[in-house]
Amino acid sequence: MKDVYEDRIICNCKKVYYSDIVKALQQGSNLSEIEEEFKRVQEITKASTGCGGCHDKVLDVISEILNP
């Protein structure tokens, strides 16, 4: 997993950072399905609910965190 201190913006529209996604995944993540986790991250952070331009970046971060 990336060091949270290397925080970077993932979703410009909603101002969601890498650390926000980490925190969302830590809130009861079952670490089973990336798509389920993606939906949950959307609900918590609102990332990828604006223009959708960060969709792939959000999925990449989730995959990186769940599959270090």
Residue 46: phi and psi, rounded to 5, are 75, 10
Q: What pTM was estimated for this model as a whole? A: 0.72
Our count of domains for the chain comes to 1
Q: Confidence band (pLDDT; 50, 70, 90) for 63?
A: confident
- Report the interhelical angle of 55-66 vs 34-45 (nearest 10°): 120
CB atoms within 10 A of CB 45: 20
Higher pLDDT, 63 or 6: 63
- What domain range includes position 23? 4-66
The 10s digit of each residue's pLDDT in 7-44 is: 899 999 999 999 998 888 887 656 567 788 888 899 99
What is the C-alpha to C-alpha distance for residues 53 and 51, in angstroms, rounded to an integer? 5
As given in the structure block, the two tokens for residue 63 are 């995959």
Closest CA to 55 of 2, 22, 10, 14: 10
Q: What is the share, in percent, of the chain residues with pLDDT greater than 70?
A: 85
pLDDT score for 2:
52
CATH number, domain of 51, equals 1.10.10.1100
